[in-house]
Structure 1
Amino acid sequence: MLDKSKLNPVQNDSTERTSTGNYSPKEIAKFDKLAESWWDPNGQYKTALEFNRVRVAYFIAQICKFYHRDPNKTNPLQGLHILDVGCGGGLVCEPLAKAGATVVGIDVSEMSVEVAKRHALTSQLDIEYRHEHAQHTSTNDKNRYDVVINAEVIEHIPNQQDLLKQCSQLCKVNGCVIMATLNRTIKSYLVAIVGAEYIMRYLPIGTHSWHAFVKPIELNNMAANGRLQLVTGIGMAYNLFTKTWSTTSSQAVNYVQVYRRLTPD
């Protein structure tokens, strides 16, 4: 039975701001435990790999559309500088690099960054990975990137508005910012937490906090405050029978928003 007491979007103790930056040590610890497992195609989290494959295909298609590129050409992202904020083990960075982009990945989990570096070496991909926070990056790399991606990170961050602002600052004017996260709905609680964590065990129990999920209208309002304009968006859905992910018009659970960076700071 659904515990309705958990359906109030209030701050919890796992999203406390640290004295050194906009991140939670508890959240970092969760992903440190997962870092070595993400790339195993036959492992416990292979469903997450399939999710990532569909998600990144959509990212690449939208980047090509944004920059008037032919996605069917070899290296369609050639010449574009892309930053992945919260890169984890590099699951988003590597397909982008294979598509020809110059890719930088940053993450506050040092373990995840080391896993990403090792996997890039085995994949023979030239990707720059840094163990650092977006706050530091936005100071040094302001207005540098053609595309900034933040995928399934914002729901783990104490101050979500600050993260949107930092992603915007890192993007060039008229550049592309892509945000991917989970909607805060009863369906997302049932699917992403009860189903994915407790029943199917696609993710470890406690990976997500429903309270920190972000409604699309909330994300769009934060984006507008960060000088970002919505271009398009889409949802993602999982088919239990075929065990495959696909894009969908419904944004009730996982969704992606694509924005254009407007005026400079």
Structure 2
Amino acid sequence: MTQSRTIDDQEVEKFAAMAEEWWDPFGKFKPLHKFNPVRLAALRDRLCAHFGRDRFQKRPLEGLRLLDIGCGGGLVSEPMARLGAEVVGIDPADRNIKIAEAHRRESGVNVDYRTVTVERLVAEKEPPFDIVLSLEAVEHVADPAYFLSQGAALVRPGGLMAVATLNRTLKSLLTAKIAAEYILRWLPAGTHDPRKFLKPAEIAGPLRQAGLTVTEEVGFSYNPLFDSWRESDDLEVNYLVVAHRPEAADPPASRS
């Protein structure tokens, strides 16, 4: 029987070819740099609420172990480490990991970067994490349901998983694909394949099957007039699914 795998070799090669531009706010990842502050704030607030932390503290995620799946150049891994989390960032493209590691050394942030797939971590029995993040990665993998199940397997009881991606809608096709890549030239042509965009149910379903409880679906909206992003109820384009693994049930009381 052929073992499932998450990586899509063409997608890995595509992002590896752009690796040197991960940290250039005016380069090929410019839209991600604009989007990142709103996305990070949404994550910070929900992580702090879930773990009972004060989001106004300098390092509110202190003592929590976090996995960033598909970390790319580290645009999420580094901020999460600055918030105090013990971060492991993984990516199948070694070129991305080398860029992330070089920037980590320059910035002095402590992140454990590894060139590895999520299924390999599971196979090697990596200890579970308090937090598992998969941000704008699932739409680039070969088998999204399997990818999500493997990420969920690494969430400890009481832990949280957050998945961000693009919805498969007409609005998303027009804005995230046609406008962003071919009209406004915000992204290189071919960055996204709209056939691989996923509806929220296609994220929530595999997470539930893996034993997680989906607690929230959050949208993000872009305002072209002010060239800014904000959190919203609109899931039509960019959205985030938040889920947690329930604590293990208490054992039944013994009978005398």
TM over 0.5: yes
Following TM superposition, where does structure 1 have runs of at least 4 consecutive aligned residues deviating by more than 6 angstroms? none
Unaligned runs of 5+ in 2: 249-256
Q: Which residue of 2 aligns with 1:52?
A: 36
Q: 1:33 aligns with which of 17, 28, 36?
A: 17
- Aligned mate of 2:168, from 179, 184, 207: 184
1:105 and 2:89 matched = yes
In structure 2, how many angstroms separate the alpha carbons of the residues matched to 1:259 and 1:200?
34
Residue type at the aligned position of 2:88: V
Deviation at 1:45, TM superposition (A): 3.0
TM-score, normalization: structure 2?
0.92
Q: Is 2:151 the counterpart of 1:167? A: yes
Structure with max Cα Rg: 2
Partner residue, 1:249:
233
Cα contact 2:158–2:245 (8 A) shared by 1: yes
Residues 1:175 and 1:123: Cα distance change in structure 2 (over 3 Å): same
| Partner deviation per Cα, 1:33-78 (whole Å, 9 max, x = no partner) | 2211121123343222011121111111110011011100120000
Amino acid at match of 1:28: V
Shift of 1:263: 7.0
Secondary structure (helix, strand or coil) at the match of 1:150 reads strand
Residue 243 of structure 1 and its aligned partner are, at CA, apart by: 1.0
- Cα offset, 1:113, TM superposition: 0.5
Alignment partner of 1:174: what SS?
strand
- Which moves more between the two structures, 238-247 or 20-29? 20-29
Structure 1's unaligned 5+ residue stretches are: 1-17
Tell me the equivalent position of 1:73: 57
Q: Deviation digits for residues 107-143 of structure 1, max 9, x if unmatched?
A: 0011000000001111101100000010111123445
Residue type matched to 1:220 in 2? A
Q: Report whether the alignment pairs 1:87 with 2:71.
A: yes
What's the CA shift for 1:158? 1.5
1:21 matches 2:21:
no
* The 10-residue stretch of structure 1 (42-51 or 225-234) with the greater mean CA deviation from structure 2: 42-51
With structure 1 as the length reference, what TM-score do the two structures score? Answer: 0.89
Aligned to 1:197: 181
- Say if 2:5 and 2:142, in contact at 8 Å, map to a contact too: no
